[in-house]
Chains A and B, each alone.
Chain A
Amino acid sequence: MSLLKAEDITVRDGPATLLEPLSLRLEPGEPLVILGETGSGKSLMAQAIMGTLPPGLEAKGQVGVGKHMLNAAAPQRFRGLWGREIGVLPQEPWLSLDPLMQARSQIAEAHRLVRGLDRPNATTRAEADLAALGLAGAANKYPHELSGGMAQRVAIAAARAGGARIVIADEPTKGLDAARRDDVARLLLSEMGQIGGLLIITHDLALARMVGGRMIVLRSGKIVEQGTTNQIFAAPQHPYTKELLAADPENWTPRQRAGSGQTVVSTSGLAVERAGQHLFSKITLDIHAGEVLGVTGPSGCGKSSLGDALLGLLKPAAGTITRGSEKHAFAFQKLYQDPVAAFPRKRTLGRTIYDTLTLSGGRPNEVDALLARLGLDPRLLARRPDAVSGGELQRVSLLRVLLRNPSFIVADEPTSRLDPITQAQVISLLTEIAAQDDVAVMLVSHDAALIRNTSDEVLDLGPHGVPDTFENATDVRVGT
């Protein structure tokens, strides 16, 4: 028997239909993945099943959980299922734990208040839950003392302490690097076991592939394709699914190496510290015009700091950085992970672009040419940075940087907040510009596949490539 059955779920915002009739079943031991980009309606789907739609949106349809049959139009009835039948794994496990409460109590309270155990029993059960997840020592810890991965495990235990067999995970890998993402996938699968149900809502293709089971692909509130996950990945039928899968960096065609031009910047024995913490040392590299240098590694390894050092924003702890023959003093530029924060907040994009144009002494038709080249609608310039989409704004950032006629661009995780298809567009524009305008690009990303398939040279600052674990070994040399 299905653990969860949803029939003809629709979500409407007044006259607008946000989610067209959708049905799904969740079977014990077989995970279900709902895959979609931002705006596909995948989170609305989850909210409709949970009864947590934001006010103003109305849902229709039937949701069956165990022997209960509920009407999606009456969300208040769903409250009784929370914790008892359905456990939710929140997006940000760290922020989802009460910062003033120890891990044990956060789990024990669900055992006591939801399942109805007495206090000593609830505490014992909570400790057993933690031990089962390999967190026996963390019972007395507060959330700020837990790592992200530990917090996620505490959250899973707490979500299921009320007796829930079904787990709904909404974007469980948001903002995680590859290694952490794989941990989460394994954890979710092992928690589900043979009898549990697991519903995963994600845009992360790698996560979907790891989880397997069945999959529904959503786009603009409509089902595009459904079937077993393996089948869809092996042979996508719908054009959108094909485009989406092709946008996965794993599936990109590796870049053809461009002939290297003049050296733009080079380092020798470079070591960098940030806030007193040693990041790496002995990095020697040469970056040439027209070349893409990919830098990868887990969070905190010093990828971004390397970029800042090359740009002259961070003083190296040791070693030298030499700039090649520059076109002008401001030929080294940067693209940011969060482009909204990189523009003056209260100025229209047009004015910022115009200021940059005036500063570099260019002509207005340069802007028009670049807009066309980057595929941007000129009307975007009348808006403020927070009123355009992430992909568009990153292209406007690129436009602003290009107006300065750069010889070197550091792109610091420029696409980590974008959907796969948009990410593919932005990255291909960036590599195109490197080749056509003879600009050196340093691309920083935690996504090893993306770096592998876009770069001419790769620098891995991760545990396997960290140069300073071999203090006496030869320097890491890239491109020299």
Chain B
Amino acid sequence: MSTLDFATAPQAQLSPSRMIGVVLIMSVAAVSLLGPLILPGDPLAQSLTKALAGPEVGAPLGYDHLGRSVFHRLADALRLSPVIALAAVMMACAAGLILGTLTATKGGWIDKGLVMLADALLALPGLLLILIVLAMVPGTVVGFWAGLSLVLWVEFFRLTRAATRETLASPAVQASRLLGFGPVYIFRVDIWPEIAPMMLTAAAFGTATAIMAIAALGFVHVGMRAPTPELGLMMVELLPYWREAPLALLSPVIATFALLLGLTLLAGSRET
């Protein structure tokens, strides 16, 4: 063929800190997904005789105050909040992306209205919004999903809108238009590559925020209800027994920290 054989780009490499982030997330995911398969067990089964007992083959992380296997409860908890968080982030990302691109291209009263709504939501503490939605929506899981989506879409919306507006005003887009490229091409080639890395960063931060919020509300007894295994709830339940069963308390603490650290590292710096 011709010189256009050169038209392929090398893929960008992940930075070392992002690699560590990915590894941390993968290992937490491995524990939660593969753990129960390798070692089946019931996270809700109580046996009071084993309350606060140390690790054994059937329960590698010991037992909690009601004699439930901490390992199996942890594996369950590590599926619950990340799944809610991911679903909320996906919803928020889709809404933010669509509304952000729409307002940046169309402008007018839709733009003004949505920006005002986003600003008003920013002025309210996210946890408060989540609490109110939780109280409105039947079902804690759906409530968390709806509330978190409501809180998180603002960030995606603002980022998309700002980046799209800036890109649309750039010479690159003007040149593409003069050459006759349509809006789909311009979005795919000029706009999307600019916002995609921001979306990844915002999604990782958003997931971390969501997991933190679920755990924080669980910790102060206003989130998930017992006996559902949830990270914050597990910690507050085990807190009084930390002398007798330090491992039982430390496991959810360490798992939460590893997960959130992984997400923070994956997000990288805001500048990218």
Contact = CB atoms under 8 A, between A and B. Distances in A.
Contacts of B109: none
Interface in B165-224: 170-172, 174-176, 178-181, 185, 189-190, 193-194
A333 interface: yes
Question: Main secondary structure on chain A at its contact with chain B?
Answer: helix
Contacts of B14: none
Contact of B3 (A334, A350, A359): A350
Contacts of B124: none
B7 A350 contact: yes
B189 A344 contact: yes
Contacts of B37: none
A343 interface: yes
Nearest to B170: A341
Contacts of A404: 179-180
A342 B6 contact: no
Nearest to A336: B171
Contacts of B4: 350, 353-354, 357, 364, 367, 381
Interface residues of A, number: 40
A218 interface: no
B175 A329 contact: no
A329 B193 CA distance: 28
A371 B181 CA distance: 22
Dominant secondary structure of chain B at its interface with chain A: helix
B9 interface: yes
A342 B189 contact: no
A376 to B, nearest CB: 10
B272 interface: no
B269 interface: no
Contacts of B120: none
Interface in B1-58: 1-4, 6-9
Nearest to B176: A344
Contacts of B176: 344
Interface in A359-414: 359-360, 364-365, 367-368, 371, 378-379, 381-382, 384, 400-401, 404
A364 B180 CA distance: 19
A354 B2 CA distance: 11
Given A353-B4, A368-B3, A345 B172 contact: yes
A382 B2 contact: no
B7 A354 contact: yes
B6 A381 contact: yes
A77 interface: no
Contacts of A401: 179
B189 A330 contact: no
A475 interface: no
Contacts of B8: 348, 350-351, 382
B185 to A, nearest CB: 7
Contact of A367 (B3, B180, B181, B193): B3
B172 A364 contact: no
B179 A382 contact: no
Nearest to A338: B171
Contacts of B174: 313, 334, 342
Contacts of B178: 311, 313, 330, 332-334
A106 B9 CA distance: 49
Contacts of B190: 344
Interface residues of B, number: 23
B185 A355 contact: yes
A174 interface: no
A23 interface: no
A403 B2 CA distance: 16
A356 interface: yes
A158 B30 CA distance: 63
A346 B193 contact: yes
Given A341-B171, A344-B193, A345-B194, A378 B180 contact: no
B172 A342 contact: yes
A329 B180 CA distance: 8
A359 B170 contact: no
A344 B171 CA distance: 9
A241 B174 CA distance: 39
Contacts of A313: 174, 178
Contact of A341 (B172, B180, B193): B172
Given A344-B193, A345-B172, A346-B193, A356 B6 contact: no
Contacts of A347: 9, 189, 193
A378 B6 contact: yes
B149 to A, nearest CB: 30
Contact of A336 (B3, B175, B185): B175
A92 to B, nearest CB: 22
Contacts of A378: 3, 6
B17 to A, nearest CB: 21
A352 B9 CA distance: 12
B1 A364 contact: yes
A333 B9 CA distance: 27
A247 B103 CA distance: 48
A381 B171 contact: no
Contact of A342 (B3, B7, B175, B181): B175
Interface of A: 311, 313, 329-330, 332-334, 336, 338, 341-348, 350-357, 359-360, 364-365, 367-368, 371, 378-379, 381-382, 384, 400-401, 404
Q: 8 tightest CB-CB pairs across the interface, nearest first?
A: A350-B7, A382-B6, A378-B3, A330-B180, A342-B171, A364-B2, A346-B193, A351-B7
6 contacts: A330-B178, A342-B171, A342-B174, A355-B181, A357-B4, A367-B3
